[in-house]
């Protein structure tokens, strides 16, 4: 039996208490259509077990979500003719997480879709990059 949170909208979908357009499921994950899609075919993949975010998810559930997201992405590419796929996870409200049940967005991309990067990539400061790298090692 999956662990749940009473006030979690995704847990209510897992429990069958709220409707969802489920497109894939297995013993660890459920994939369903996003009700506020960024592009045609935007899907969410979640673990059945309630886990707040990327920092708390069990490695086995994270792996299962990644595999499920890859399968949904392959279907979207094949069946929608998507020119690309974005996999997006937001961890924490500062990173735009709005539902605090770990989830992966599978967003099919099309050459003419309106979705844009949330930042403008630009060359970073080499010293700052080196400092951050040093902090992340080990």
- Token pair for 72: 């949904």
Name the nearest CA neighbour of 106 among 128, 136, 84, 78.
Answer: 84
Q: Is 50 annotated as catalytic? A: no
* Predicted local confidence at residue 67, as pLDDT: 98
* Predicted local confidence at residue 4, as pLDDT: 73
* Predicted local confidence at residue 43, as pLDDT: 98
Residue 102 has pLDDT above 90, yes or no: yes
> Which fold is adopted by the domain 9-136?
HIT family, subunit A (3.30.428)
Catalytic residue, chosen from 42, 101, 103, 105, is 103
Tally of residues, the chain: 138
* Predicted local confidence at residue 123, as pLDDT: 94
- Reported as a pLDDT band with limits 50, 70 and 90, residue 101 is very high
- Every domain of the chain and the residues it spans: 9-136
- The pTM score is 0.92
Indicate the helix (H) or strand (E) that contains 126. helix 126-136
Residue 75 has pLDDT above 80, yes or no: yes
Distance CA 102, CA 89 (A): 8
Q: Decide: 23 and 43 in contact? Cβ < 8 Å.
A: yes
Indicate the helix (H) or strand (E) that contains 12. helix 9-14
Residue 44 has pLDDT above 90, yes or no: yes
């Amino acid at each position: 039996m999956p662990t749940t949170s009473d006030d979690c909208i995704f847990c209510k979908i897992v429990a069958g208490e709220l409707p969802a357009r489920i497109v894939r499921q297995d013993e660890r994950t459920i994939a369903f259509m996003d009700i506020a899609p960024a592009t045609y075919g935007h899907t969410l993949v979640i673990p059945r077990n309630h886990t707040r975010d990327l920092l708390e998810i069990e490695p086995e559930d994270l792996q299962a979500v990644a595999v499920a997201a890859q399968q949904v992405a392959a279907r979207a590419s094949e069946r929608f003719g998507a020119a690309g796929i974005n996999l997006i996870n937001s961890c924490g409200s500062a990173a735009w997480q709005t539902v605090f049940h770990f989830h992966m967005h599978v967003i099919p991309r099309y050459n003419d879709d309106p979705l844009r990067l949330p930042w403008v990539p630009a060359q970073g400061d080499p010293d700052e990059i080196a400092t951050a790298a040093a902090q992340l090692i080990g």
